[in-house]
A and B are shown apart, each in its own frame.
Chain A
Amino acid sequence: MIKLIHVVNQFFAGLGGEEKAGLPVGVIEGSAGAARGLAQKLGDEAVITSTIYFGDNYFHEHKEEALKKILDAVRAAEPAVLIAGPAFNSGRYGLACVEICQAAANALAIPCLTAMQEENPGVGAYREFVNARAYCLPTTEATTGMNDALTRLAHFALRLARGEDIGAAADEGYFNRGIRRIERTDRTGAQRAVEMLLKKINQEPFETEIPMEVWDDAPPAPPLAELKNRNLAIVTTSGVVPWGNPDKFKTYRNTYWRKYNIAELKELESGKWEAVHGGYNVAYMNQNPHYGVPLDALRALEAEGRIGPGKLYPAYYVIPGNQGSPTVMRRIGQEIAADLKKDNVEGVLFVAT
């Protein structure tokens, strides 16, 4: 008999709604609440040995402790697969499900499965984690889709438990994680590329092997009138930082930004700054950091009155952009935007490498 474990929030454990969102992690023997529905769908092949629950708020307010308790309980149960959710459109619950899957998949090396609506912020976190052992299935927005969600979770969990090969996201119906899979084919890359190109020329449908991120449109922000009265700031993904890299940026996949003071500086002196970036040859930038943070030109324009006195923000913003995941970079953009707005910056010069 396959052993599974189900992780749910306090509501789906049947313990109460918002007033119980502070409940700490607990374990119920066998199935409870929504897990009962899941148990029915599993049939005779598998059993839910225990149901782990957590309060929606408790999880996020005591994340380390909550994850530790959950992992301890999962470890003790030795399940073949962990199932969390379905979370539908509940943001706190969805994020918790994804974080639990991520933690259990990494710590216990078991496949983990959750489900939620595509708009749930948990899906963004799931795509950011890019964990080959974690899967997330789509659900409806509201719990009206519970029956269908449980059916698909049960079916998918059984396949994972049996160790079946799981194919590409598009074929299997889970949310894609951006993991590139290697498959055997008897046609070379050149043959496939030419076939695709011919289809494209003939305006026939074709399927790319390397799908690109779909970008949403941001309407242009209004232009700046009377530029010399406007507060401007420099933002760069070049990775130019003070010499010695005090905030320990990595050369790739950074997850935070910093700003460095330039208020008193007329220029960036060679030897006092360096570029931390694994995506381009940093030799030129190290020699002359103005290639990434053009302070000399901005000060010259300030002296001539094209930029008003004191209108250049006293620090520049930086993150080495190499291999930044779109989700992370989106968050970084939002954080920097909030910081700029707080200090009344009105326009941005953005140097991208």
Chain B
Amino acid sequence: MSKELEKAGLPVALISAMFPVAQQVRANRIVKGVSIPHPCGDPNLSKELDARLRREIIETALKALEADVKEPTVFSPAIASGG
């Protein structure tokens, strides 16, 4: 699905916990999500830290959209998840 968006000329930041799969299917801008049932955040964190983590993930996604990539590239949010 995301590749059809890219084919139409829209850069896509794909936020997914299954980033190896995203790489395998050759998505171009891949952002590491936390886990499959909660890619954008971590319910094990306090509400505040969870929100901060989500913000970091989205900032990483925005940076991915600004990045000139030539091949599938994984972008990792700077803040690691709780566990």
Residue of B nearest to A217 (CB): B26
**Candidates A307, A347, A352; contact of B10 at CB < 8 Å:** A347
Contacts of B9 in A (CB 8 A): 221-222, 341
Contact call B58/A337, Cβ cutoff below 8 A: no
Contact call A220/B28, Cβ cutoff below 8 A: yes
Alpha-carbon separation in the docked complex, A283 to B70 (Å): 37
Smallest CB–CB gap between A5 and chain B, Å?
38
Contact call B6/A220, Cβ cutoff below 8 A: yes
Contact call A294/B28, Cβ cutoff below 8 A: no
Contacts of A221 in B (CB 8 A): 5-6, 9-12, 28
**Candidates A216, A330, A352; contact of B22 at CB < 8 Å:** A352
Contacts of B40 in A (CB 8 A): 290-292, 294, 297, 351
Classify chain B's interface size. 35 or more
* SS of B interface (majority): mixed
**Number of chain A residues close to chain B: CB under 8 A:** 58
Contact call A297/B58, Cβ cutoff below 8 A: yes
Query: Which residues of A in the span 216-252 have a Cβ within 8 Å of any Cβ on B?
Result: 216-225, 227, 230, 232, 235, 237-238
A323 contacts the other chain (CB 8 A): no
Contacts of B13 in A (CB 8 A): 347-350
Contact call B1/A215, Cβ cutoff below 8 A: no
Known contacts A333-B3, A337-B10: A351-B62 contact under CB 8 Å = no
Give me 29 A-to-B residue pairs in the complex whose CB atoms sit less than 8 angstroms apart, sorted by A's number: A215-B25, A216-B3, A217-B26, A218-B4, A220-B69, A223-B66, A224-B66, A227-B62, A280-B37, A282-B37, A284-B37, A285-B38, A288-B38, A291-B39, A291-B40, A291-B43, A297-B40, A297-B51, A301-B62, A307-B62, A321-B1, A329-B1, A334-B8, A336-B4, A347-B10, A347-B11, A348-B2, A350-B5, A351-B16
Which 3 residue pairs across A and B have the least CB separation, nearest first?
A333-B4, A337-B8, A333-B1
Give B residues with C-beta under 8 Å from A: 1-18, 22, 24-26, 28-29, 33, 36-41, 43, 50-51, 54-55, 57-59, 61-62, 65-71
